[in-house]
Amino acid sequence: MAATMLPPALVATAVDVKTLAAAVDTHYNHLHSLAAEFTEVYRGSGMERTETGTLWLKKPGKMRWEYRSPREKLFVSDGKDAWFYVPADRQARKTDARKLEDVRSPLAFLLGKTKLEKELQGLSLAPDVTPLQPEDVVLRGVPQALADRVSEILLEVTPEHKILRIVIQEADGAATEYRFGDMKEDVPIADARFQFKPPAGTETVEGGLEPWIADVAFEGYLRYLIATVCGWPVS
């Protein structure tokens, strides 16, 4: 009954979710690098916070999240060392990137070696969610490795099998949404972009990331996105 109420295009997509998921896998697993503008929106605990910046990814294991607004901050990794730096705090945190591998990521497929159907249980169409673009399709599923903390993941997929939006719905009701724009695939990105040297006068603290992250919006993405976003090996 419900299926008959869907527009014909969505009915066809619902029947062929496996094919769509496989096409998305193929698209991203063949990429070597990606640059994009991103908007991150965190909603939870009675607050909403929007941040914007630029993301660079490069296989194997290199990533750079450069936040510009409303506060400058940086998360960068060359695959070995991971740094979190907020210029206004004059402090940089460093940790071994391999220590982050136990956190499986809903964004692994952006430059990963995974399969949507394997990572997201019950992958299906989300006809109740309005896409940003009318020609896009929204999928939903539950991340197996984060089922205790994340109730569902929403993925908005374009006709070109690109992921335009990701929504991470946490079990406590909070949600973090990522929108990607101006995506440039397989572009030359110098390895130097993924290296970091603390500016003069900056305190460097080495250790784990989780205990000291006070920024809720950043923590929302950091907790779930770091480990396999660039195809880092995950056990």
Residue 230 in domain: no
| Eight-class DSSP state of 18 | H
Query: What's the confidence (pLDDT) of residue 48?
Result: 95
Residue 143's CB is within 10 A of a number of other CB atoms, namely 20
Residue 235 in domain: no
- Looking only at Cα atoms, what is the longest distance across the chain? 65
pLDDT digits (tens, 9 = 90+) for 111-153: 566 688 888 889 999 999 999 999 999 999 988 767 777 899 8
Q: Is the pLDDT of residue 185 over 90?
A: yes
pLDDT digits (tens, 9 = 90+) for 44-74: 989 999 999 999 988 877 889 899 999 999 9
What distance in Å separates the CA atoms of residue 56 and residue 137, rounded to the nearest whole number?
Answer: 25
Residue 190 in domain: yes
State the DSSP H helix or E strand holding residue 223, giving kind and residue range, or none if neither. Answer: helix 216-225
Q: Is the pLDDT of residue 102 over 60?
A: no
Structural domains of the chain, count: 1
What distance in Å separates the CA atoms of residue 162 and residue 169, rounded to the nearest whole number?
Answer: 21
For the segment 154-162, the average pLDDT, to the nearest whole number, is 93
pLDDT band of 95, cuts 50, 70, 90: confident
What distance in Å separates the CA atoms of residue 82 and residue 101, rounded to the nearest whole number?
Answer: 12
Residue closest to 90 by CA, chosen among 188, 204, 178, 184: 204
Rounded to 10°, the helix 17-29/8-15 angle is 70
Query: What's the confidence (pLDDT) of residue 198?
Result: 94
Distances (CA, A) of 145 to 31, 47, 63, 152, 166: 24, 27, 22, 12, 17
Higher-pLDDT residue of 112, 28: 28
**Which single residue is written with the structure tokens 């066809």?**
12
Name the least confident of 88-102, 122-136, 142-156, 158-172.
88-102
The 3-state DSSP class for residue 233 equals coil
Query: What's the confidence (pLDDT) of residue 96?
Result: 79
**CATH code where residue 154 lies:** 2.50.20.10
Query: What's the confidence (pLDDT) of residue 70?
Result: 94
Q: Which domain holds residue 45?
A: 3-225
Higher-pLDDT residue of 6, 195: 195
What distance in Å separates the CA atoms of residue 18 and residue 118, rounded to the nearest whole number?
Answer: 11
